[in-house]
Structure 1
C-alpha cells in the first residue's frame, strides 16, 4: 500500500509543472490609499500564486502574503510631498471645478510623484543593482516615465488601470475609442450622447490628446533620460505593452470594445466579509430601522467639508429614523445628533455586507462603487473629482443610485433623495441584479489577473495579442492618406472634366464664328 502511494506521488511530481516563481516588479508610487489598495491586492494575489514580488509604493504592506516572496520598497517622503501639493491648492471640495483644472492638478501631482520615485535612493539602488524581472506592472496614471523600467530590467510590461478603458491609454494598445460613443473619463455623460454632449466629449478628448503629446510625454521623457541608465525613448516604452489589466466590469461600466491584450478584472480587490469589531457589530445588529452609511473615501476627508455643507448633513441626519454611520476623521463632531456614530476608520466592505445597511452616501470613487454593487447597496452619490462624476452618473443610469451634485447639497435635497432611495424598492432591486452580474464569472477576477500575467510570461510577452494598429502611423489609422488620395482622384477627375467641357465649349463657339464669317 505504501509503495502504491509513493508511486502516485512520484507520477504527480513528474507530470505537474512546478511554479518557478517569476520575478515581478509592481510600481504604484502615488500617495493615494485607493491606488495602493488596488496595487497591493493585485501584487499580493501574484505573490500568493508563488511569485517573487517587489512593490514600489508610499505604503508598507502590513499583512504580507503567506506564499511566494514579498519585498517592499517604501517611498517614505511621498506622503509629505503629496500633502504639500494639497496644501498649496484650495480644498479638494472646491478646486476640481472643471476638466481643465483637474488636468492641470493631475499633471502637477504626477510629475512630482514620478520625479520623487525615480530619484528616491532605494529606487536608484534597485535600478543600479543589476537585477532583472520577468514582468514590470505599472500603474497607468500619468507616471509615464515608469514605463522605461521594463526596458531597463529586461522585462515584459503590463499596465494596470484603476478604471475603465479611456483616452489615457487606449492608443497605447490600439483600442478604438471614438468620442461619438466613448465618454471621456472626467465627464459625467450618458451612454447615448446628444449632439452637444458629443461635441463636449470630442473637445475634451482633443484637449486630453494635446496635453499628453505636447506636455505630459515630453516632461516624462526628460525624467527617463535623467534617472534611468541607458534610457529608452519614451515613445518606444509607451507602446511596449504586453497586457493591460483593467479595474472594470460590465456590472458597473457600459460595455466597451477591447483589443485582445485588455482584460477586465473589476472587483478583484474584494474579499469575503470578515467579522466586524464588537461595537460596530452590535450597532448594526440593533439598528431596527436600518443604517445609512456615509463616507467620502480615503482621499477626501469629510472633516474638511465647508461648514454650510456639514450643517446640511447634520440637520438631514438628525431627522432620520435610521441610524447613521459616518466616517469622520476628527475626535469630535460639533452638533452630532444622537443617531449618528462616528469612526475615523471603518471596515467598509464588511459594513456594506451587513443586511441592515439601507443606503451608502458616497463620493462615487470606483472602489466604493465596486464594493457597493458587489454587496447590493444602493447609493446617493456626491461626486467631487476625477472619475467620480462618471461613476456616479453610471450608478444613476443603471438605476441603483441618485446623483446629488456637491454645490446642490442641502438639508432638503439630501432628505428627499434618502427618502426616495430607501422607500422605492427599484433601487435595491437594480443593485441586487448588478451584484448578481458581477459575481457571475467562471473564475474569480484575481485568478483571471494571475492567469494573464503568467500567460504573458509563458508566451514571452504575448506579441500575438498585439493589433496591427500599433504598426501604423496615426494618419494611416484614420485613413487620412486614403481619403486624401480619394479626394485627390475626385478633384482631379472634376478638374479634367471641367477642362474638357471648357475645351469643347470653346471649340463649338469657334466653329460658329467660322460659319458666321
Structure 2
C-alpha cells in the first residue's frame, strides 16, 4: 500500500513537472457555452496543467492544488443579457436562415470586441514573461480570438459546442456532404431520401458559405486589424489549428465522417449527481407516480411566454397523475395546479439522475439533450431556435422522444396526446436506456479522452501529422472543380472536333455523289 502511494505521488509530481501552460478563451457568457469552456479547462487543470482562462464570471469551485488564473471581464455577462432582451427567441425560427446567421454574428461581435480591448486581456498579451503551450477556445462566431494563438506562437485547439458544424469542418477539411448531413439551419426537417430536402440543404450550405466568405470573415478580419494592426488574416491564423474537440457523440447525432484531428467528447461536462436541496429531494422522493421535469433552458424564459401559452401548460399538467417540476424564473407563480412545483433555479443534472423522473420536457438545447441521454430519460422536445430543431429530430430518430412545435395551432390537444404517449408507452423509456448505454460505452470517459488528446498535441508539437491536405485546399480544388472543368472543356472540344469532322465527311461524301451523278 505504501509503495502504491509512493508511485502515485511520483507520477503526480512528474505530471506537474511537465505541466503545460494553457490559455482558455471563453468569454461567451451564455450559461451553456461558458459551462462547456469552464468544465474543459477544469479537467485540464486537474490533469496537472497550468490554466489561465479569459472569463465573464469569477471561477467558483476551482479544483484543489492546481495553478489557475482568471482574466475576469467584468460586466460582460450583464451586457449579454441586455442584448438578448432585444431578441425574441420564440419568433426566431420564422426567419430565413441567412437572416438568422447574420443576426447571431452581430450579437456575438460585441463580446468579441470587448475581449480584445479589455485592460486585463491587454495586460496579459503585453507581458513579456508569459508563455503558453496551447490556446483553447470555442469556435462560435469569434474568429478574431484566434489571434491569441498567433500572438503566443502556440497551437490552437478549438471546441465546437454544437458538434460537427460547417464552420468547424471547413477549418480542418472535415467532409460534410450535403447529400446526407443536414445543415445547422435545416430546423430538423432534413431527409437525405427526399430530393427537395437535399436541394434546399445544398442551398443552405451554399448561402452559409457565401455569408461566411464575403460577410463574416471580412468583418472579423476588420475587427482584428483594428484591434491589432498588421495581424495576419484569420485564414492564415487558422493554419495553427492543431485539434478540434466536438461536444457530440453518435448516441446524440447521426454518425458523420471525422478527420484524424477531430474527436468527439460529448458529455464531458456532466459530473456524478450531487445531493439535491431538501425540498426538491422530498418532492421527487414522494412522487409515487413519477415526476415530469420541465425546463426551457437558460436563454429561453418561461416567464417570457404569453399568459395564454403558460395557462395551456398549467391546464394540461393539472390533469396528470404525475407531479411536475417546472423551472420558472418567478419563484411563486399564481394559478398553478397542486401537482406542480415551480422553482426559479433547479440543479438539472442532479434532477435527471433521480429514478422517479419519468419525462423531461425540454427546449432541446444540446446540453439538455446530452444530460437526458446520459441519464436515460425520455424527452418531449419543444424546440424554439438554432440547433434545437435538429436535436429534437435526433431525439425522435433515436426513439427516446417526441417533438412538439411551440406554435402548434392545437397546442393543448397535441401536448396532452404527446404526454400520454410518452408516459404510458414503455418503448420510449426502453429506447432512452438503450441510447444511454451507447453513450456510456466508450474506451475512455469523455474528459479522459480530452486530456489524452490535449497531451498528444503537446507531445507532438501540434500534431501536424494528423492534418489532412484538404484543410488548405481552396474550394475549387477541394471539390475538383478545376478537374471537372478541364474534363468538361475537353469533352466540349472533342465533340466540336467530331462534329466538324463529321460535317467534312458528310460534305465530302455528298460532293462525291454529285460528281458521280454528273
Q: Secondary structure at the match of 1:168?
A: helix
CA distance in 1 between counterparts of 2:8 and 2:284 reads 53
**Residue 331 of structure 1: CA displacement?**
2.9
Q: Deviations over 1:377-403 (max 9, x none)?
A: 101011111111100110011110010
- Once the two structures are TM-superposed, the CA of residue 186 in structure 1 deviates from its matched residue by 2.3
Deviations 1:317-356 (A, max 9, x none): 1111111101111132121111111111111111101111
Counterparts of 1:11 and 1:250, CA distance in 2: 37
User: Which segment is superposed worse, 186-195 or 315-324?
Assistant: 186-195
Residue in structure 2 matched with residue 135 of structure 1 by the alignment:
134
Q: 1:74 to 1:490 in 2, by over 3 A?
A: same
TM-score (norm 2): 0.95
SS of structure 1 residue aligned to 2:54: strand
Aligned ranges 1:78-477 → 2 under 5 Å: 78-89=76-87, 91-98=88-95, 99-130=97-128, 131-187=130-186, 188-190=188-190, 192-228=192-228, 230-408=230-408, 410-477=411-478
- Quickly say closer, same or farther: Cα 1:466–1:506, change in 2 above 3 A: same
- Mapped contact 2:476–2:482 kept (Cα < 8 A): yes
Task: Give deviations 1:31-75, integer Å, cap 9, x for gaps.
Answer: 200001111110000000111111112112111111421111122
Deviation at 1:514, TM superposition (A): 3.7
Greater shift after overlay, 493-502 or 212-221?
493-502
Shift of 1:271: 0.8
**Secondary structure of the equivalent of 1:325?**
strand
Computed over aligned residues only, the root mean square deviation of the Cα atoms, in angstroms, reads 2.1
Unaligned runs of 5+ in 2: none
C-alpha separation between the residues in 2 aligned to 1:176 and 1:402?
A: 30
**2:49 aligned with 1:58, yes or no?**
no
Report the Cα distance in structure 2 between the residues aligned to 1:14 and 1:407, rounded to whole angstroms.
55
How many pairs were matched up? 512
Give the stretch that moved more between structures: 74-83 or 244-253.
74-83
Q: Which runs of 4+ in 1 moved over 4 A?
A: 8-19
SS of residue matched to 2:166: coil
Partner of 2:156, secondary structure, is: strand
In 1, are the aligned partners of 2:52 and 2:69 still within 8 Å (CA)? yes
Contact 1:475 1:481 in 2 (8 A): yes
CA distance in structure 2 between the partners assigned to 1:424 and 1:280 by the alignment: 27
Q: Secondary structure at the match of 1:482?
A: helix
Q: Do 2:191 and 2:197's aligned partners in 1 also have CA atoms closer than 8 Å?
A: no
Residue ranges of structure 1 left out of the alignment (5+ in a row): none
Cross-structure match for 1:73: 71
- Post-superposition offset of 1:311: 0.8
**8 A contact 1:184–1:205 mirrored in 2:** yes
Instruction: Report if aligned partners of 1:273, 1:353 keep a CA contact under 8 Å in 2.
Output: yes
Q: Secondary structure at the match of 1:169?
A: helix
1:17 CA drift (Å) = 6.4
Q: Distance in 2 between matches of 1:238 and 1:169?
A: 11
Query: For the Cα contact (< 8 Å) 1:327–1:344, is it kept in 2?
Result: yes
Does the Cα contact within 8 Å between 2:221 and 2:233 map onto a contact in 1? yes
